Structure formats: C-alpha cells, structure tokens
A and B are shown apart, each in its own frame.
Chain A
Amino acid sequence: MSRPNRPQRRIQGPQSALTDFLASHNISAQQIRLDAEARRRAAEAETETPAAPQDEQVTEAATASTSTGDGVSTERTSRAQTTVVAGAESAKRKKAQAAVAKIKAKKKAQKRKRGEDDSDGSEYDDLAEAIFQRSAPLPGQMENCAVCGKRFTVTAYSRSAPDGGLLCNPCGKELDKEEAAPKKRAKRVPGVISGRRQVQSKILDGTYRPGAKSLMTLCIETLAKNINLADDLGELPVTAVDKIARNLSKNRLIDARTLDLFLQPTVEDLFIYDGSKLGADDYIRIFQTAAKLKRLRVCNGVHFKDEVMDYLLSRHIQLEYFYLHGANLLAEEKWKEFLVQKGQSLTTLKVYWTDKHFTDEVLALLEKHCPSLTRLKVEHNQRVTGEGVKAIANIKSLRHLGLDLREHVHSDVYVHLLGKIGQDLETLSLARVPDADNSILDALHNKCRSLRKLRITDSEVMTDEGFARLFKDWGNRELKFIDFQKCRQLESTQPRENPDGIGLCSNGFRALMAHSGRTLEYLNLYGCRHISPEAFEEVFGADKVYPSLTKLEISFCEQVTDFIVGSIFRSCPQLRELIVFGCMKVKDVKVPHGKLLVGVPNAVGMVIDGDDN
C-alpha cells in the first residue's frame, strides 16, 4: 500500500538493514508506531463516548418499523428492517467521524507542543480514516454486534460480519454454521478415485452391475439416509419394505425407534437383518404388536433371551419360518419348550452361531413336534454331534438340509441319514467335513433322486474315483448348484504329488459337467487344484455349451491358463462372474463385454469388462 503523502523519514544517521529493507517496501517504522498510538487513542476515545444515544436511535427505528408493519406485506417489513440496519450504520458512521475529528485535534495539539508545523495534517486524515475503515476495536473492549445490536466484549476470536463490524459470540457461531454447511456438502461429492474404489469393492462383494442404479434403490438409499425423519412407511409393497430393512441394517440403523417403522399389527413377515442394537424389550414388543407374525428372521439377535421366548410362548403366534442368528443367551430348556409348544406350524428352522444351547436333545424333538418341517439349517454349531444328525434322519418331511457343525461326525452317520431321507432331499449342504469319505458319495449316488443343490466342502478324504462314480449314470436329476470347494489333498511335503487322486480331480470334474452341465447355474471348485489343464480344455471345448452357468469359481486351480479362461467365456454364454484368485497362469486375457473376471494377479487387480464383443 502506497500513500501519496508519505512523511519523510526524520531519523538521520546510521539505520539498520531491517529499517532500510522496510523502507524499500514502503513501510516505515515511524508510521507503524504512529498507527499503534492512534489506535490506542481511538479506543480510549470510544470508551469515553457514551453508547446510549446510539442504542436509542436503533430502538426508535425498530419501534417505527413495527408500528408501520401492522397489516403490510412482508416486502414492506423487510424494507423496514433494512432501514433499521441503515439507521444503525449511519449512527455508527457519525460516531466514527466524531472520533476522527477528536484524534485530529489531539494530534495537532501534540505537534504544537513538540513545536512542529501543521503542514502534514492531511496525512493524519488518511491515517485516522484508515483506522476507522478497518474499525477494529482491541480485544477487551465493548462493541455492538453488527447483526443483533447487543453489547458484547470483543475477544481475539470475535468474528467480523460480512458487511463490516464485529459479531457477538452467538451471532458468530451462527455464521460459522452457515459457512461450514456448504463445505461439507462439497466434500461428499464422489470423486473419480472414490468411484473407482467403490466399483472394485462391489466387484469383490459380487454385487457389481454396470449402469445406473434402479430408481427403487435410489429411493431406498435416500430413505435410509434420512430415516430419522420418517414416522411411518405407509403402504409400501413388501419387497420394498424388505429392501429398506436390509439397507438400514447395512448401516446398523435398526434400533428401538426404527424398529417401529416395520412393526404393524398386520405384518406377517419380519426380517431383522441386524438386531444387535435391540434389547429384550424390543423383541417382546415385536410379539406384542405383530400378532399375525408368520415368518421371523433375526440376525445378530444377541438379546433374544429366555424372557423373550417366554413371552412368545405365551402368545398365539404360530411361526412358520423361524431364523435365529447368534442368540447365545437362549437356554436349551427354552428351545425345547418352543419346539414342543410351537413346533406344529414350523416349516423352516434355521439356527446359526450357537455355542452351548442348541443341542442333540433339541434336534431329537423335531421328529415328534414338527411334522411339517421341510427346511432345517444348523450352522456354526458347537454342540450337535452324530447323535443329533441321526435324529435328523427321522424327519421324514425334510427336503432341505444344511449342516455346518464343529463336532466330529463320522461319515457312517451321514450315510445313515441319506439312507433314510436321501430319497426326497432337494438340498444337501455339508460344510466343513474334513473326514467325510467316499461312502457318502456312494450313498448319494444310490439314494438321492431329487437333489438340486449339493455342497460338500473341505473333505480331505474323498477321492476323484468317488466323485466320478457319483456322477456316472446317477439317477438323480441334473443339479443347479454344486459347491465342492476345498475338496483336495492336504500334503504339505509334496503338494504337487497326488498318487491316490484325493479330492475332486480331472475325472470327477469331467463326470460332473457331463451329468449336470446343461442346467448348472453355480459351480464352485475353489482349491480343487489337481484338475488338469487337459480336463479343463476338454470340458470347455469348442463344441461344448453350458447355457445356464452364471457364476463359476475356480480360484487356486493352478492349471488354469489364459486359453482356458477364454474357452470358459466361449462355452458359457450366460456367465456373469468368473473368479480366478491364485490362478497364476492367467495373465492377459480378453474379457467379453458385460462379464466379470475377478482376481487376476496384476496391478489393476480386477478386470471389469473388456471392449471385445
């Protein structure tokens, strides 16, 4: 900033380098000192002048505006308000002028005392005006707020108003809020990088689809974000309500308040996908409100305790579908009571993640008390043993069975089970059965005729011969879903050698595809690493087509090459997702449009879809 009438430096003689430097930048130490003095004096002057007249002026203007504002349009009242502000401002300006005049007078007097002439008065004019333009009262002084007009003490943190003047603390906070809001919104806009990251994350979750989200999804996401505004979901279709429930659970938003949105006296299905924030009282409330409840699913239902079950038993609710996940506080006795009293109507029972209380004895009650049970799932269970599985074998109505037990169960028990109820089973899932051997596969071959879905995982004893025997001339209809992941030899000293053909290898794989290839929709061969490249090339040969296959998992099948992946894409027109983690021979493969190849070991990590058609 340069001033036209800068004073000449009065200090003669040697001067410091700093002074010289400052002088070359139009800054004079003398002037800074004078500025400070003037400011101090101005502050003094202000405290001397009484504030009362100004306040009066403001209140006068305000009362004038309110008296005229009776029955006039908002436009006029707003104009009146601006006049109030203008009045306050003009008062301030007058005060400032008076103070400037005072300073000038004082300065002149001082100079006269010092015996200097009065020639550079205009310089003081500039100075004083500059001070008041900045209008910065020092911390500790009193000042009137530029917005609300209240008196307040100026601190170092006092904010200045957008159109001059200072703000009191409450008004300053208000201004902070206004300015912070748009900043946050700007942050939330997804950038290119975060978008890409999101896509990769979705691919790994298996939920990726190119293109825009459906309108329903958009609405549900908006709703989940603003769920605290919703009082009632109204008459929404069941599918939409279920989607909302899923979306809320994903963000852990289901609590005592949001649960009410889903509780209606007429509701028949209640799916709580995350009940971790619900207490025992909330679960009791479900049975109090939803008297017609038929299907109940509770995930993470930690507080689904004895007292909740007691309450359920005291009501007339007849559940058909009961899915309980992680309810470890529910005692064995209560399970038994439940099955005895409410088992009659039960068609589906799924119990996940229990350590102590879901036992063989509970399973033994199913035969007698649940005559219409068709689906049973017992997973991540630490108590059920071979005894329990034998008890399941007596449930004649069973069509779908899924077991994932921690206790050791001998293969003979499963053979016994298949011998008794294998004939009508449509789903059989035996997860984590390291000791399961070929006798189970033979029992499947001999007994099962209606299977659509088969899962046997982690077997370390079953052999290629066994798998080949199972699928060769099997009287069962073609399957839709097969999961044989990690059925392979575990031999750390000689991992490549497999003289006994343990696990699902080439012949078993050929027989599997020959039997079910036409209808197969999902195939999981994760870790079946002894399937030879010849077998893959033969199965996915140029003349073979698998019209239904949509998802294929061949991770850690070491022999898979670029050529085999290309052949798979050619042979499976409906294939949407191919997972090839740990297939190190897959390097640079062309992925057809709209298909997904997950797990390629390169810098990109995943290939989404190629340009090839």
Chain B
Amino acid sequence: MAVNDDDVCTSKYITLVSNDGFEFVVLREATAISPTIKGMLRNPFSEARTGRCEFPEISAPVLEKVTEYFHYWYKNQDKAVVPDMDIPVELCLEILVAADFLGLDKQQG
C-alpha cells in the first residue's frame, strides 16, 4: 500500500492496526459506515496522512471480525435480503464493545 507522508493519503485502502500489531487492509469506502474511523481520517489528524488507524484497545481477533463486517456491509449495502454475518459467540461481547466504540450501531453511515 502506497502511503504518501507529505500529503493526505488518497489510497483506496486504509490500514487498521490492532493492539498486538496485526494489520488489516480495508477498502476506504467500506469503513464509511463507522463515524469514528471517518473522523480519524479527516485532515488535521495523523491518520489522515498515513492512512493507518491504530486501535490500542481492540485485539486482533476482534478487529479481524470488524474488518470482515466492513466488507460485508459494503457488499450488501443496497440489497433487500441480506444473510446475517456469523458472529462467534465467545467474541460476541468484545465485538459489541468494539462496535460501540466504532459507532457501528446504525445501518447507514
């Protein structure tokens, strides 16, 4: 992924980093559902320059599921019938907390 350090990063993809250093590359448009990430990628913040969003409070398995959700949401944006995404029961509460943090409680971004 090309990161432009001088200017605002305009790449189609952004990187999400978990607290244990795992990186997830996501379509920028797919993260539009999260107001939190949208806000991070606005200009004055360093995330806007680098296109890297670090989440020191989210672990890799949870962030992986969140990343999966971003693409699931993006793919099914306009569909009438959407099969539910599978949420592993053991991670359910952690994902719930992460979803609250990322503002993923609305259907539309």
Contact = CB atoms under 8 A, between A and B. Distances in A.
Contacts of B92: 219, 222-223, 226
Nearest to B105: A216
Nearest to A244: B96
A74 interface: no
Given A215-B69, A219-B87, A222-B89, A210 B78 contact: yes
Interface in B67-103: 69, 72-73, 76-85, 87, 89, 92-93, 95-97, 99-100, 102
Contact of B97 (A217, A226, A236): A236
A212 B72 contact: yes
A374 B41 CA distance: 43
- The interface size bin for chain B is 20 to 34
A45 B81 CA distance: 64
Interface in A564-597: none
Contacts of B99: 214-216, 219
A286 B93 CA distance: 24
Nearest to B100: A237
A569 B89 CA distance: 43
A218 B84 contact: yes
A215 B66 contact: yes
Given A219-B96, A222-B92, A213 B81 contact: no
Contact of A236 (B77, B83, B85, B100): B100
A244 B87 CA distance: 15
Contacts of A218: 69, 84-85, 87
A71 interface: no
B73 A223 contact: no
A463 B41 CA distance: 58
Nearest to A234: B93
Given A222-B87, A226-B89, A236-B93, A216 B100 contact: yes
Nearest to A219: B96
B70 to A, nearest CB: 9
A373 B86 CA distance: 46
Interface in A226-268: 226, 229-230, 233-237, 239-240
Contact of B76 (A212, A222, A235): A212
Interface residues of A, number: 32
A240 B98 CA distance: 12
B89 A210 contact: no
A192 interface: yes
Contacts of B72: 212
B3 interface: no
A521 B96 CA distance: 32
Contacts of B80: 199, 210, 608
A220 interface: yes
Contacts of B106: 214
B72 to A, nearest CB: 6
A585 to B, nearest CB: 27
A192 B80 CA distance: 11
Contacts of B82: 211-213
A190 interface: yes
Contact of B100 (A211, A213, A240): A240
Given A222-B89, A226-B92, A229-B89, A209 B107 contact: yes
Contact of A214 (B77, B87, B97, B107): B107
Contacts of A213: 82, 84, 107
A215 B92 CA distance: 10
A195 interface: yes
A46 interface: no
Interface in B40-64: none
A493 B102 CA distance: 61
B104 A216 contact: yes
A211 B33 CA distance: 12
A212 B86 CA distance: 13
B96 A220 contact: yes
Given A218-B87, A229-B89, A211 B79 contact: yes
A205 to B, nearest CB: 15
Given A211-B79, A212-B76, A221 B84 contact: yes
A196 interface: yes
A222 B99 CA distance: 14
Contacts of B66: 215
Contact of B107 (A196, A212, A222): A212
A239 B100 CA distance: 9
A186 to B, nearest CB: 14
Interface string A265-283: 0000000000000000000
21 contacts: A199-B81, A210-B79, A211-B76, A211-B77, A212-B77, A212-B107, A213-B84, A215-B95, A215-B102, A215-B104, A216-B96, A217-B105, A218-B85, A218-B87, A219-B92, A219-B96, A219-B99, A223-B93, A233-B93, A235-B97, A236-B93
* Nearest 6 interchain pairs by C-beta: A195-B81, A215-B104, A219-B96, A212-B76, A215-B99, A222-B87
Interface of A: 190, 192, 195-196, 198-199, 209-223, 226, 229-230, 233-237, 239-240, 608
Given A212-B79, A214-B105, A235-B97, 17 more contacts: A195-B81, A209-B107, A209-B108, A211-B107, A212-B82, A214-B106, A215-B99, A219-B95, A219-B99, A222-B87, A222-B89, A226-B89, A229-B89, A234-B97, A236-B97, A236-B100, A240-B105
